[in-house]
Structure 1
Amino acid sequence: MQKLAESEIVEFNLFQENSDNDLNYFPQDREINEEIKYSKTKREQQLELLLSNLLKYGVFLASAVVLVGGILYLIRHGAEPADYRVFHGVPSEFRSPEGVVNAVLSGSRRGIIQLGLLILIATPIVRVAISFLAFLRQRDYVYIVVTFLVLSGLIYSVIGAYH
């Protein structure tokens, strides 16, 4: 039987003190990005604030509308037994945005829930549309093209399915 040699612990430094390594130029106690200053114009800051508020309040509004519709729906239909033996699809009145609006105006509780979902879907679409207008104003042609393609796809996916 062969005897195994005992292992030795060897200590070595990965970075030499006087090397030409770029990592030695970074301050030790600070973040790496601290010396790089990013400045945004006031217009860019306002656009970012507008877009973030749009998304935040759009989701809050959609949630509130769905919650109100859900509460109203449960007040009226909460005690009814659920019938899961037969699949019931979405009624035809809820298959288009104008049908949802007409259902809400007629007092349909399911219409209110569907309206909240439409608001939730429309929120990012409006955000992309505002970004498109901002890029048009800035004449940033690459972002105009990209945003236009995204906006076209979003609008087609919402409206094109109904026609």
Structure 2
Amino acid sequence: MSLESLNDQVAFVSQEQFLFNTSLYENILIGKPNASKEEVLDAAKRAQCNEFLERFPDGIETQAGDGGKQLSGGERQRISLARAILKNAPIIVLDEATAFMDPENEEKMNAALDEIIKDKTVLVIAHRLSTIKNADKICVIKDGQCIAQDSHENLIDTCPEYKKLWDASVSASAWKVREA
């Protein structure tokens, strides 16, 4: 398989997405350069972008600015997800795709992901365990080695390292910041 053929089969959404200093429309179009306007608008909608696009007078034609400075990190992430939706590749790689998101953006991103991962092979690289809890198979990596792989429920029962990580994750999610 050629590198170009492999690239056609994979859509990649990383924590460090890059937007070009062009319109948001053109930034999404990168996912499938020959897509119709309707396909681009549909991808933006499915990636939960409409809510923030409506804030801009030029909507999807708004200039992203250098590195996407017109948008928050979560909004840039959803534009990146719209690219992946538009590409419609059978394999999706999510590399810490929700790492820097606030809870509102993470909720919207997860809603979009739930829709697009149907009938796809999805590889999720995550430290935030809530992101992977519903995966068919989770690989626990320790010192560069896969020490266990199974569903969340089975790993809780059979893998002490995973249970320790999960318990710490649940405990951390309950933390509250007190006002002085």
TM-score by length of 2: 0.22
Identify, as 1 or 2, the structure richer in strand.
Answer: 2
Identify, as 1 or 2, the structure richer in helix.
Answer: 1
